[in-house]
């Protein structure tokens, strides 16, 4: 427990340092950093619309960051979450539009299950290539992202097009209740939180979770005790894909009500960032996702009320990552120093 | 007074808590071939990597050509004429042989590389030492033996007159090894000084002038070839330390539990590392595998337990064919396995003692309750194992990375032995652990045997093999060279078999000199 307290403290400090460096940038362009941050905070929380927008932005980020982190538990580096979000979204749209023969409750279920199945199947491809042929999943997932985006682009501009000027599909027949109108915050947030809690429970309390953690920390040991590192690797990648698929489904049913071309750009990579900053710690990842969501949502408010461009938020995020990586470098450095002293 | 081109005195090198070299001594004369021998992990390669400047030493002094070397780096070593041919070749597959040789210090003509000049220089070396290398082929197209010659030329081109060869014959066929020896002889005639690392005694006896032996990081002496014999070297390599006598219950061996029939297995580097081994283990007996490390013992254990592919032959466990089954299926068929490397295979150092203890029982009740971990039963079991096997510290929530070697090994032994399987494969069960743990582990094995388990014991400690086993099987270069009851075994007759001979007349060294591969 003290270990995670230490981790938490580190994250808070990193957060403050990142904001501090951001403040320097704000001063450099001649604005008051305090005003800017207050504007940012207000932009994210002040009022129903703003708070709702923050929550709506947080929902997919929570899922995509958990998706990246859960794959990382088994030692996989899944850059493909974004593609999985797109495919999950288009699948949910297809089912939601066409399977009207199902009663409504079942249609909801079908949308989510369909999104999960297709996204998991998509994630299976790079996972199997890695497990059986040693092809780097980093490369394949990056490449497959582009493929996934173009598949959905084709579908939404062609066979599934609603015929509007913007490439988008017809509206789906089931939607998730938006509880903070006019923002697009919707019941999907509860689903997302539930799913992530379930994943955390699974990782620490079930056999499968134990196996994922074993494979992620020592695959040779896993094989020796009779845990197939390949199977578990593939399984965790597919689980990661499922989470991405759920994110896509929630975006379509909850936010838009139809599939919109390029609707999920950046969701996968932002989720990955959130997970990477906290080294894919499953407990901290959701908090980091929330922090990033707040930054993103508040940025517009900051730009409107002060002269600080919203791109500053990207700078803060980048500084954040640099510090997180530097910390590893520092650890390495101090270890080396210690070694040298021992030798002397 | 400066008779040595290399002197290494009182060398100590540790990696974390592992002492790779405890007391290293080495000297090299001009124009000699000096072999450095010892078992895997004895510190041979580490010593030479220190000389090449790849790691800093913790203590000790290195002199090259009479000059004390401080903060030695590979760059500095090369400047002083040291070259090293590594076990893994460092060549670029997509470049030609010539390009590989000059890579990094290309002779230039204006802005272009002067290939003419390079070719002339390289050809000079090829002819001088009779090396036979095709300069215009890509490295990916040439044989392992040729790649090795390319590596040697590379060191020569960089001006090396002290050349270290790290187990050069491990990757070669006998014919290629023969070619290599001719080249080494040519180099020697040209006053180059060579270090030859190996654990194959017949080769060492064939080409060396002097031989140094290392065991467990300690220099065990240097001898002239004329003054030694393979038997003497074996004794120095494997040592003799008798400090433990278990009252052995000879025995009521029951029915056959493990049967290995004509098994062939490849290793990472060598195809056919094991070439047709057959052996059997009965219930209630310990069968010891004796042999110099690296003669196929590790691969045998991996092949039986499903961790390495069996190319040919069958493995029967209690009558059931388990050849090439998954490790899990093999375990379910009735086998437990103490692996030789506890830090990568045996334990997951990132996880706790408790999690490591339950690793192989995860899917069986009461440890699991319909896919949920039953934490309470884990706790009880871990506490029980910790007291039964005297694992310290006793807090099972600690990560195994915090354990000492002996206690870490006890975790592995506790987990495997408590499975009460009919067959136990124990690979190097006491390697690198303290005396107390050795005693506990050996008694545990003895106890398991009394309860009717068949045990296949693989150990580099001859003393351990002799004092624990009922029967001893000796392996050499992937084949079984002899088998005898432990009561008839001693260091001399085992030593002979470990060097590959099946006669007891001691003519083995002559065969070795004649260069025939004895079986």
User: Running DSSP on this structure, what letter comes out for residue B342?
Assistant: I
Range of the domain at A289: 2-334
Output the six-digit token pair for A37: 């941050």
Q: Please give the pLDDT value at position A163.
A: 87
Confidence of residue A1 (pLDDT cuts 50, 70, 90): very low
Q: Does B308 touch chain A (CB under 8 A)?
A: no
| B244 in A contact zone (CB under 8 Å) | no
How many helices (DSSP H) and strands (DSSP E) are in chain A? 13, 0
Closest CB from A206, A211, A221 relative to B347: A221
Is A263 within the bounds of a domain?
yes
pLDDT surpassing 50 at residue B504: no
d(Cα B253, Cα B189) in Å, to the nearest integer?
Answer: 58
pLDDT for B402 equals 80
Q: Hey, how many other C-beta atoms are within 10 angstroms of the C-beta on B324?
A: 15
Largest CA distance in chain A: 78
Q: Residues of A at the B interface (Cβ-Cβ below 8 Å)?
A: 205-211, 213-214, 217-218, 220-228, 343
Interface test with B, best of A218, A221, A280, A342 (most B CBs within 10 A): A221
Q: Which of A226-230, A286-290, B132-136 has the lowest mean pLDDT?
A: B132-136
CB-CB under 8 Å, B307 with A224: yes
DSSP A253: I
How does residue A334 score in pLDDT terms, banded at 50, 70 and 90? low
The pLDDT, as a whole number, for residue A337 is 57
CA distance, residue B206 to nearest chain A CA (Å):
39
CA dihedral A214, A216, A221, A224 (to 10 degrees): 80
For residues B285 and B449, give the distance between their C-alpha atoms in angstroms, rounded to a whole number.
6
Looking at residue B518, its pLDDT comes to 37
What pLDDT is attached to residue B1? Answer: 44
| CA distance linking residue B164 with residue B81, whole number of Å | 11
Taking the C-alpha atoms of residue B477 and residue B297, their distance in angstroms, rounded to an integer, is 9
Q: Which residue of A has its CA nearest to B343?
A: A221
What residues in A contact B370, CB-CB < 8 Å?
A: none
Residue A86 located in a structural domain:
yes
Is A38 part of any domain? yes
Using a CB-CB cut-off of 8 Å, the residues of chain B touching A207 are: 362-363, 368, 371-373
In a domain, A343, yes or no: no
Distance CA A276, CA B9 (A): 47
Task: Give the distance from residue A339's alpha carbon to the nearest chain B alpha carbon, in angstroms.
Answer: 9
| Residues B391-415, mean pLDDT to the nearest whole number | 89
CB contact under 8 A, A208 and B371: yes
- A206–B371 C-beta distance less than 8 A: yes
Are the CB atoms for A108 and A46 separated by under 8 Å? no
Q: What is the pLDDT of residue A186?
A: 95
Q: Which two tokens stand for residue B90?
A: 């460092």
Does A71 fall in a domain?
yes
Using 50, 70 and 90 to split pLDDT, how confident is the model at A103?
very high
Q: Contact B13/B58 with Cβ under 8 angstroms?
A: yes
Per-residue DSSP letter, B188: H
Distance from CA of B326 to the nearest CA of A (A): 8
Q: What are chain B's domains?
A: 4-238 (3.40.50.300), 243-334+421-519 (3.40.50.300), 345-420 (no CATH)
Whether A69 is covered by a domain: the verdict is yes
Q: Is the pLDDT of residue A25 over 60?
A: yes
Determine contact: B348 vs chain A, CB below 8 A: yes
pLDDT at B232: 83
Q: Beta strands B286-290 and B372-373: pairing type? A: unpaired
Over residues B201-236, the pLDDT tens digits come to 788 889 999 999 998 889 989 999 999 888 888 778
Q: What share of chain B in percent tops pLDDT 70?
A: 92
In the predicted model, is pLDDT for residue A170 greater than 50? Answer: yes
Token duo for residue A12: 């808070």
d(CA B168, CA B88): 10
Entry pTM: 0.75
Q: Quickly list DSSP for B23-74.
A: EEEEEEETT-EEEEE--TTSSHHHHHHHHTTSS--SEEEEEETTEEE-S--H
Q: Which two tokens stand for residue B14?
A: 């540790």
Q: What is the DSSP string of B233-302?
A: HHHHHH----------------SEEEEEEEEEE--SS-S-SEEEEEEEEETT-EEEEE--TTSSHHHHHH
pLDDT band at B511; cut points 50, 70, 90: very low
Give me the phi and psi of A259, to 5 degrees please: -90, 125
pLDDT at B501: 65
Query: What does the alpha-carbon distance between residue A103 and residue A105 come to, in Å, rounded to a whole number?
Result: 6
Residues whose CB is less than 8 angstroms from the CB of residue B413 and which lie 6 or more positions away in sequence, other chains included: B338, B389, B429, B441, B444
- Inter-chain residue contact B372 with A226, CB threshold 8 Å: no
Q: What's the rounded mean pLDDT across residues A166-191?
A: 93
Burial group, residue A76, by CB count within 10 angstroms (0-12, 13-18, 19+): buried
Please, are residues A214 and A74 in contact by the beta-carbon 8 Å criterion? no
- B411 has pLDDT over 70: yes
CA distance B190 to A276: 58
| Residue range A170-182: mean pLDDT, rounded | 92
Specify the pLDDT at position A333. 57
B453 close to B423: Cβ distance less than 8 angstroms: yes
User: Does A325 reside within a domain?
Assistant: yes
pLDDT mean across residues, chain A? 90
**pLDDT, tens digit, 9 for 90 and up, residues A237-284:** 999 999 999 999 999 999 999 999 999 899 999 999 999 888 888 999
**pLDDT top residue among A266 and B247:** A266
Long-range contacts of A226-232 (CB under 8 A, 24+ apart): A226/B326, A226/B327, A226/B328, A226/B331, A226/B332, A226/B360, A227/B328, A227/B359, A227/B362, A228/B326, A228/B328, A229/A131, A230/A131, A230/A132, A231/A131, A232/A74, A232/A208
Section B255-270 average pLDDT: 89
Q: What is the mean pLDDT of residues A115-136?
A: 97
Smallest CA-to-CA distance from A115 within A212, A188, A198, A206 is with A188
**Domain harbouring A83, CATH code:** 1.10.3470
- How many structural domains comprise chain A? 1
Cα dist. B348→A1, A126, B343, B368, B400 in Å? 21, 26, 7, 20, 7
ipTM of the modeled complex: 0.83
Check residue B507 and give its pLDDT.
40
In-domain check, residue A265: yes
| Token pair in block for residue B16 | 């974390």
B152 CB neighbour count, 10 Å cutoff: 25
Name which of A105-114, A218-227, B237-246, B472-481 the model is least confident about: B237-246
pLDDT-based confidence at residue A328 (cuts at 50, 70, 90): low
Q: Residue A2 has what pLDDT?
A: 56
A226: left (phi over 0), alpha (psi -120 to 50) or beta: left
Q: What is the pLDDT of residue A330?
A: 62
Q: How far is C-alpha A176 from the chain's CA centre?
A: 20
Do B444 and B438 form a contact (C-beta atoms < 8 A)?
no
Contact yes or no for A257/A171 (Cβ under 8 A) = yes
Residue of B160, B156, B164 lying closest to B198 (CA atoms): B164
Q: Hey, CA dihedral for B414, B417, B420, B421, is it positive or negative? A: positive
- pLDDT > 90: percent of chain A: 69
Given the DSSP bridges, would you call strands B368-369 and B454-458 parallel, antiparallel or unpaired? Answer: unpaired
> Is B97 a residue whose pLDDT tops 80?
yes
pLDDT tens-digit profile of B267-323?
Answer: 877 778 899 999 999 999 999 999 887 889 999 999 999 999 999 999 999 999 999
Subunit contact A226:B326, Cβ cutoff 8 A: yes
- Measured distance between the N- and C-terminal CA atoms of chain B, rounded to whole angstroms: 45
Asked if residue A164 has pLDDT above 50, the reply is yes
- Across the range A185-213, mean pLDDT stands at 96
Q: Residue A166's pLDDT is what?
A: 86
Backbone angles phi, psi at B425, to 5 degrees: -100, 115
Dihedral, CA of residue A175, residue A181, residue A186 and residue A187, to nearest 10: -90
The 10s digit of each residue's pLDDT in B22-45 is 999 999 999 999 999 887 678 888
Q: How confident is the model at residue A294 (pLDDT cuts 50, 70, 90)?
A: very high
Q: How far apart are CA B329 and CA B305, in angstroms?
A: 9
Pairing, β B112-113 against β B108-109: antiparallel
Contacts of residue B96, defined as CB under 8 A and 6 or more positions apart, other chains included, come to B135, B136, B137, B138, B139
């Amino acid at each position: 427990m003290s270990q995670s307290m230490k981790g938490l403290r580190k994250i808070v400090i990193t957060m403050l340092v990142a904001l501090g460096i951001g403040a320097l940038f704000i001063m450099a362009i001649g604005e008051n950093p305090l005003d800017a941050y207050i504007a940012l905070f207000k932009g994210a929380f002040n009022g129903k619309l703003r708070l709702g927008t923050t929550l709506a932005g947080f929902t997919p980020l929570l899922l995509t960051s958990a998706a990246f982190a859960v794959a990382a538990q088994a030692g996989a580096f899944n850059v493909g979450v974004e593609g999985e979000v797109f495919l999950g979204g288009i699948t949910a749209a297809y089912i939601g539009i066409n399977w009207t023969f199902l009663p409504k409750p079942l249609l909801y279920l079908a949308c989510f299950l369909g999104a999960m199945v297709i996204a998991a199947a998509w994630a299976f491809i790079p996972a199997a290539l890695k497990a059986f042929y040693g092809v780097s999943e980093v490369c394949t997932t990056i490449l497959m992202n582009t493929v996934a985006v173009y598949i959905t682009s084709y579908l939404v501009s062609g066979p599934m097009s609603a015929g509007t000027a913007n490439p988008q599909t017809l509206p789906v027949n089931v939607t998730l209740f938006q509880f903070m109108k006019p923002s697009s915050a919707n019941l999907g947030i509860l689903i997302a939180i539930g799913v992530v809690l379930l994943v955390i429970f699974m990782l620490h309390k079930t056999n499968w979770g134990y196996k994922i953690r074993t494979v992620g920390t020592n695959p040779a040991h896993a094989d020796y005790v009779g845990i197939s590192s390949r199977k578990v690797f593939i399984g965790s990648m597919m689980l990661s894909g499922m989470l991405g698929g759920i994110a896509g489904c929630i975006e379509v049913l909850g936010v838009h009500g139809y599939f919109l071309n390029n609707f999920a750009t950046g969701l996968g990579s932002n989720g990955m960032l959130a997970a990477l900053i906290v080294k894919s710690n499953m407990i901290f990842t959701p908090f980091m996702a929330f922090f990033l969501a707040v930054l993103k949502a508040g940025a517009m408010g900051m730009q409107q009320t002060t002269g600080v461009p919203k791109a500053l938020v990207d700078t803060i995020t980048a500084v954040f990552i640099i510090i997180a990586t530097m910390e590893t470098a520092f650890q390495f450095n101090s270890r080396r120093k210690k070694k040298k002293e021992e030798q002397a | 007074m400066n008779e040595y081109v290399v002197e290494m005195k009182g060398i100590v090198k540790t990696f974390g808590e592992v002492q790779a070299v405890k007391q290293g001594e080495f000297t090299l004369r001009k124009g000699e071939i000096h072999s450095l021998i010892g078992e895997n992990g004895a510190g041979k390669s580490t010593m030479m990597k220190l000389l090449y400047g790849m790691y800093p030493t913790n203590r000790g002094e290195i002199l090259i050509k009479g000059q004390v070397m401080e903060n030695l780096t590979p760059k500095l070593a090369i400047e002083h004429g040291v070259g090293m041919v590594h076990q893994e070749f460092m060549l670029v597959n997509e470049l030609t042989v010539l390009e590989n040789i000059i890579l990094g210090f290309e002779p230039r003509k204006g802005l272009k590389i002067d290939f003419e000049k390079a070719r002339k220089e390289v050809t000079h070396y090829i002819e001088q030492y009779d090396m036979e290398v095709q300069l215009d082929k890509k490295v990916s197209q040439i044989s392992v033996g040729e790649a090795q010659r390319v590596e040697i030329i590379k060191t020569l081109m960089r001006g090396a007159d002290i050349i270290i060869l790290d187990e050069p014959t491990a990757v070669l066929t006998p014919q290629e090894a023969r070619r290599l020896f001719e080249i080494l002889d040519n180099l020697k005639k040209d006053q180059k000084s060579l270090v030859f690392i190996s654990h194959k005694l017949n080769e060492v006896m064939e080409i060396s002038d002097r031989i140094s032996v290392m065991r467990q990081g300690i220099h065990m002496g240097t001898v002239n070839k004329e003054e030694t014999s393979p038997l003497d070297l074996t004794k120095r390599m494997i040592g003799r330390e008798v400090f433990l006598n278990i009252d052995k219950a000879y025995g009521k061996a029951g029915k056959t539990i493990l049967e290995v029939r004509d098994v062939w297995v490849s290793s990472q580097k060598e195809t056919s590392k094991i070439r047709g081994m057959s052996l059997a283990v009965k219930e209630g007996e310990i069968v010891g595998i004796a042999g110099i490390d690296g003669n196929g013992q590790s691969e045998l254990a991996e092949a039986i337990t499903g961790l390495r592919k069996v190319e040919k032959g069958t493995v029967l466990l209690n009558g059931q064919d388990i050849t090439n089954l998954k490790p899990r299926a093999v375990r379910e068929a009735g086998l437990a396995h103490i692996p030789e490397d506890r830090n990568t295979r045996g334990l997951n150092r990132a996880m706790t003692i408790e999690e490591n203890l339950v690793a192989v029982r995860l899917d069986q009740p009461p440890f699991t309750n319909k896919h949920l971990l039953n934490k309470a039963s884990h706790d009880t079991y871990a506490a029980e194992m910790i007291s039964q096997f005297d694992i310290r510290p006793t807090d099972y929530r600690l990560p195994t990375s915090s354990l000492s070697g002996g206690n870490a090994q006890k975790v592995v032994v506790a987990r495997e032995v408590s499975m009460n399987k009919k067959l136990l494969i124990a690979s190097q069960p006491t390697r690198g652990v303290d005396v107390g743990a050795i005693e506990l582990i050996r008694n545990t094995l003895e106890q398991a045997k009394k309860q009717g388990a068949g045990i296949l014991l693989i150990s580099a400690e001859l003393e351990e093999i002799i004092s624990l086993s009922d029967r001893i099987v000796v392996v050499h270069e992937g084949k079984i060279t002899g088998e005898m009851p432990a009561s008839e075994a001693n260091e001399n007759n085992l030593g002979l078999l470990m060097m590959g001979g099946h006669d007891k007349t001691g003519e083995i060294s002559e065969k070795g000199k004649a260069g025939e591969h004895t079986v």
